[in-house]
A and B are shown apart, each in its own frame.
Chain A
Amino acid sequence: MAEEILRVENLHVSVEDTPILNGMDLTINRGEIHVIMGRNGAGKSTLASVIMGHPAYEITEGSIHYMGTNIDEMSVFERARAGMFLSFQYPAVIPGVQVGTFLKKSVQSVRDEPLKGREFRKELNGAMATLEMQKSVLSRYVNDGFSGGEKKRLEILQMLLLKPTLALLDETDSGLDIDALRIVAKGINSVAPEAGCLIITHYQRLLDHVQPHFVHVMIDGTIVESGGPELALKLEEQGYEWLETAAEA
């Protein structure tokens, strides 16, 4: 039987009294890749942030369950330690903190056990090889002066090391060239079989490399249409208008 990782029920979310999500429902089981598409402003990024526990968002109605538990009261870092991961659309810059130090500390706090230096280095080298990353990145400061592609690759590297149970990927494919896209997809595919995956994207092209089980379309803070990979292709060809017309009718 499918193991439920995430269950979002009738979720209503506001920021400073402005409603953004208006009754979202979504269930993700282990091994499933879900894709959410939709225009800018539909609430896609909000969904990812609120699942991760961003304090600026207020849940006014509904609930989020992770591994069968309501996580309303869990803080962001507790969610991370419980196996949730968000790949940011715009990862923050942390000046003066070296990537290597940051990765080690992060992995250490999520796994909650002392890391053996040699084993960690081996793991790190393996993950970096998978993502075709240069070693020199380890001595740079976190996201400081990184290109868009470098930032996204670092996000995926963190995902590989943290081995999440739930991976939320917020527009990880935006602004990537073909090679970077392929590499990022490789990272997602290596994590996906053991996790639940939610990919937020504007473009069908990532789906040439990552096979989703479900594609959902979000409009005005709710899912209006769900289907298989063919839905993404249809959206690529026809845009969102046909759904919006249907929603209004």
Chain B
Amino acid sequence: MSDEAREAVGDYQFGFHDPENATIRFDKGLSEQVVRDISALKDEPEWMTDIRVKAYHHFVERKMPDWGNCGELNNIDFDNVTYFLRSSDATEKDWDDVPDDIKRTFDRLGIPEAEQKWLGGVTAQYESEAVYHSIREDLEAQGVLFLDMDSGLKEHPEIVKEYFGTVIPYSDNKFSALNTAVWSGGSFIYVPKGVHVEMPVQAYFRINAQNMGQFERTLIIADEGSSIHYVEGCTAPTYSTDSLHSAVVELIAMKGAKIRYSTIQNWSANVYNLVTKRGVAHENATVEWVDGNIGSKLTMKYPAVLLKGEGAHAEVISVAYAGAGQHQDAGAKVHHLAPNTTSNILSKSISKNGGRSSYRGMLQVTPKSHGCRSKIVCDALMLDSDSRSDTYPTMEVGNSTADLEHEASVSKVSGDQLFYLMSRGFSEEEAMGLIVNGFFEPFTRELPMEYAVELNKLLELEMEGSIG
């Protein structure tokens, strides 16, 4: 334990921290030893250590991806990243260190300070632990497993071993290899056959139980005929001192099951957010990604669905907001690997103050997959002429019976709209906020209410001070 860390723990103002729980921070940079140390520290089974080590070597050898805004990736300094922080390390960060603009946003969103700290993942808060536990009990009664990934591995190694890396193997890409090597935190969910989890399950009840790292790993398995809606993150900004966030999320929807995964990322503007998300939908199963990207410097995220069983369905609804200095490179990948599978993709993006947003999509229909239907709609809204929006759709269609639609539009806020709204008493910024919220509405209405309200407020805040 470093002196610095000891000092921080000692000074911790709320004083409910267990002093025996030492903070551990690894030196910056990555090596096989660091990977082994992480695994040893977590007391993992050998097979997991082996996967980590293999993944590490693959990461070292693997080239950068060529899908996405790849030139920018070369700016990442992998040696300057801390790959592991123990959960209690959260106390090492002081609320005072959180940048003022982020604190202001918390205030304006109406989130009280105690909760702010908790949402920001900056420190632990005991009250929320209680909430978390009560939710867990409710789910447990139905036989649902909902744990952080580390606990999932400890308590249900047989399930984790069966599914871990089956949807996204470490060899998928450089960042999935990195994640597999150093993963920590994330969610583990198993929903038994026929169980419908009615309330959305929210990750942020869990965040403080185990400090969500930069490399979280999530695995959700919905057994036959079951359903679950998982909500991750929140609209409040996630402040990170580290510049790289690389998560892996694997979803498995068995026959007739349904998984919806909703998330809004609002990383601070210094973060490279490179996330691999992929779900498998078996026969008549549904996988839905509801994915919002507001923060980060560069996001590259293309939630994917493998439609493996006949009659499976994929839904990907995403929004991206790119302000000054941001590139949101997001989209969707859907692979129709079985007959009569269907998919809907809706992507909405907004660029402002020189920001860039791109839709990058992949739609594949394999030769044996007859009777597939897919509809892709991409709408971009530009708030000024300095900003940029691109669409990069890729289609590989091997079966002539496929029924495919693709619509794309780029629009600007019109002077008529602004004049109309201003004549109704809205300032120019308020008018912009209203137009932006309206543009994102097809996405927002898919969110649980409290997120929708927060997202709208956040977007209105983003519009402030934007009019020259």
Contact = CB atoms under 8 A, between A and B. Distances in A.
A75 interface: yes
A89 to B, nearest CB: 11
A81 B425 contact: yes
The majority secondary structure among interface residues of chain B is helix
B127 interface: no
B423 interface: yes
A117 B253 CA distance: 43
Contacts, number: 81
Contacts of B439: 95-96
Interface in B180-229: none
A13 to B, nearest CB: 16
A227 B427 CA distance: 38
Given A94-B434, A97-B437, A105-B434, A80 B422 contact: yes
Contacts of B371: none
B75 to A, nearest CB: 36
Interface residues of B, number: 24
B7 interface: no
Given A56-B415, A77-B427, A95 B422 contact: no
> Most chain-A Cβ atoms within 10 A of its Cβ — which of B419, B425, B439?
B425
> Most chain-B Cβ atoms within 10 A of its Cβ — which of A56, A77, A88, A158?
A77
B51 to A, nearest CB: 45
B416 interface: yes
Contact of A80 (B425, B428, B441): B425
Contact of B425 (A88, A95, A109): A109
25 contacts: A52-B419, A55-B419, A75-B422, A75-B428, A77-B422, A77-B431, A81-B425, A85-B423, A86-B423, A90-B416, A92-B420, A93-B417, A94-B417, A94-B420, A94-B421, A94-B438, A95-B438, A96-B438, A96-B441, A105-B426, A105-B430, A105-B434, A109-B426, A110-B424, A158-B424
A66 to B, nearest CB: 14
A203 interface: no
Contacts of B430: 77, 105, 109
Interface of B: 414-417, 419-428, 430-431, 434-435, 437-442
Contacts of B421: 92, 94
Interface of A: 49, 52, 54-56, 75-77, 79-81, 85-86, 88, 90-97, 102, 105-107, 109-110, 141-142, 158, 162
A162 to B, nearest CB: 8
A96 B440 contact: yes
Contacts of A96: 437-442
A77 B438 contact: no
A109 B427 CA distance: 9
A160 B439 CA distance: 28
B218 to A, nearest CB: 30
A106 B426 contact: yes
Contact of A76 (B416, B422, B434, B442): B422
A76 B56 CA distance: 60
A162 B420 CA distance: 14
Contact of A92 (B416, B426, B442): B416
Contacts of A141: 438, 441
Given A49-B419, A76-B422, A94-B421, 12 more contacts: A77-B423, A79-B423, A80-B424, A81-B425, A91-B420, A92-B421, A94-B438, A95-B439, A96-B438, A96-B440, A106-B424, A106-B426
